Amino acid sequence: MRGAAADAVRTRTTATPLLPDTPLTVEVQFKNHWNAELLVDLPCFSRLDTVTVGFTVDDAPVLARILKFITSYTPSP
């Protein structure tokens, strides 16, 4: 394991980043239907079943922003 870590550090300037194939399609399943109900009204989400929504994005930074929104959103009463 130390050898692999040393190789990674040694070749860090020439290594090519791992880039996923795009577009990225994601399904998010919630414990209850309320979260899916809230998101399905936003244009990028589609309802897949009672507790699951799906969406497609063009790159990883957009995916990260949407996942951050989903995990941090708290609706006001």
Confidence of residue 77 (pLDDT cuts 50, 70, 90): low
Q: Are 51 and 30 in contact (CB under 8 A)?
A: yes
Of 5-9, 26-30, 40-44, 50-54, the least confident: 5-9
Domain boundaries, the chain: 20-77
Which two structure tokens, joined as six digits, stand for 23? 């577009």
Residue 16 is predicted with a pLDDT of 86
Q: Where are the alpha helices (DSSP H) in 1-77?
A: 2-10, 33-39, 60-72
pLDDT of residue 20 exceeding 90: no
**pLDDT mean over 17-46:** 92
